[in-house]
Amino acid sequence: MNRGMTFRITNGFGKFLGEALQPFNTTEFNWYIGGEEAYFVEDAELGEPLFSGEIYGMDGTFLKERLENNEYYIIFANFKAFPKEKQVIDVLTYEAFLNSDCHCVVLVADCEYVTIYCKDQGKLADLYNNAQQKKYLDVEFITNDNDSRTGLRV
């Protein structure tokens, strides 16, 4: 069974997460935002933080607008999607993810390494195909056999 996927994005300014998450309807969820390190790009330089600290319950419409309509630079990121009627928490392990209401986990490390866990196998396949179409590097499924991650944080 596929747990998720990994790929590499360009280490630079862009709208990479907005593009990568297009097959996943971010607006249907409230999001945990880990408050890691990401910045708006202003006049070709790093500007204000993309997110102001840790956020429990960012509206998915706001997140979609922020990720698709702005240029930014993500160094580290930790996003987790929950149905709007459910409590937003920070799930810390894959087992906790499976036993929670969280539908999707998006992690970015070192500016270019993206990991996505998604419970919906159809959406996961759509995300995988989108990553291949966008020509992201090293697109691979994460399975029970090759998942070495012990926590869902960056």
pLDDT, residue 137, reads 98
| DSSP letters for 69-127 | SS-EEESSEEEEEEETTS------SHHHHHTSS--EEEEEETTTEEEEEES-HHHHHHH
Q: What is the pTM of this model?
A: 0.97
DSSP state, 36? -
Where do we find the tokens 């920070």?
A: 90
pLDDT, residue 7, reads 98
pLDDT, residue 135, reads 97
The mean predicted confidence, pLDDT, of the chain is 97
Reported as a single tens digit per residue, the pLDDT across 48-105 is: 999 999 999 999 999 999 999 999 999 999 999 999 999 999 999 999 999 999 999 9
